[in-house]
Amino acid sequence: MERVVITGATGMIGTALVRACVQNGVRVVAVLRAESHKKDRISASPLVEVIECPLAELHRLPDLINGATDAFFHLGWEHTGPAKFDSIYYQTENINSTLLALNAAKQLGCSVFLGAGSQAEYGPQALERIGRDTPCNPKLAYGICKYAAGKLALLEGEKIGLPVTWVRIFSVYGPYDKPTTMIASAVSRMLLGEPVAFTAGKQLWEYLYCDDAALAFFLLGQRGGAAKGVFCLGSGETRSISDYIHVIAEATNYRLPLQIGVLPYAPNQVMRICADISLLTQETGFVPAVTFEDGILRTIAAQRELLKL
């Protein structure tokens, strides 16, 4: 790859992917919302060009971008806040923007289109590992629309002759994570010395650091469409939620008693989430490089800076 397009470039994985591209000498066209207040997250590098364009208008990109591009990474997805996460009306907008991005990628001469799917496409599962061939039965509007976007992108890609790689992302953490996630919330509150309560934490969960997630996308992009179809992206290894909580508490030097077991499990609580990344490893050689202990230290350092501690 010599030049790529990245939507969602200010998100947790997007910023990491921009960094990975720059570190490897790949030029980046970072697509942002107009007047994005997160623009300062983008690497200040001569290799990075910023284009302002809302997701609903991605059909304009061929007129806004001069020159050919090799790969199109579509990480952008609107309406992921808690209040709109399960709104059918809001979530369906993303299906159209995914198809707009795909057709823009074709016009820009890309050899591959890579979209960001989600573990939510599978719905609740009670399996040791979830892979490409695991049946999908999403229950939330978010997961249903991710699934629809991926299926339609794969279908349209065949029609227009552009290979599509759809990456179903499992649990990723790191700087710029949404503050409402378990890890981001725990890190912030522990750093501030605030009480924080948890469930019994017996769920077996996997977490992947954002730089590793970006690396996987980068490696798939390098294949130029040779690795197409659906891939699961995660760490491939589980630990109990209570174990993760203790690691965070030690890394933040948290002094208050850990309130594990105070909160009830959510209705229909999923007790195990783990991605089968064997196909991803086979196709790209991807192996997670950052341990949770190292990744959480990087996350804490970034949060300390944000909180000015």
**pLDDT value of residue 80:** 81
What does the alpha-carbon distance between residue 224 and residue 113 come to, in Å, rounded to a whole number?
A: 9
**Residue from 45, 100, 107 nearest 77 by CA:** 100
What does the alpha-carbon distance between residue 15 and residue 22 come to, in Å, rounded to a whole number?
A: 11
Q: Does residue 53 have a pLDDT over 70?
A: yes
Long-range contacts of 304-308 (CB under 8 A, 24+ apart): 304/191, 307/188, 307/191, 307/192
What does the alpha-carbon distance between residue 133 and residue 138 come to, in Å, rounded to a whole number?
A: 14
What does the alpha-carbon distance between residue 201 and residue 197 come to, in Å, rounded to a whole number?
A: 11
**pLDDT value of residue 83:** 66
What's the pTM value of the predicted model, to 2 decimals?
0.95
Q: For 67-109, what is each residue's pLDDT tens digit? A: 999 999 999 999 887 766 778 889 999 999 999 999 999 999 9
- The DSSP line for 136-148 is P---SHHHHHHHH
Give all domains of the chain, ordered by start, each with its CATH number.
3-171+208-234+274-289 (3.40.50.720), 182-204+238-273+297-307 (3.90.25.10)
The per-residue pLDDT of the chain, averaged, comes to: 95
Q: Stretch 37-59: mean pLDDT, rounded?
A: 92
Structure tokens given for 207: 């977490």
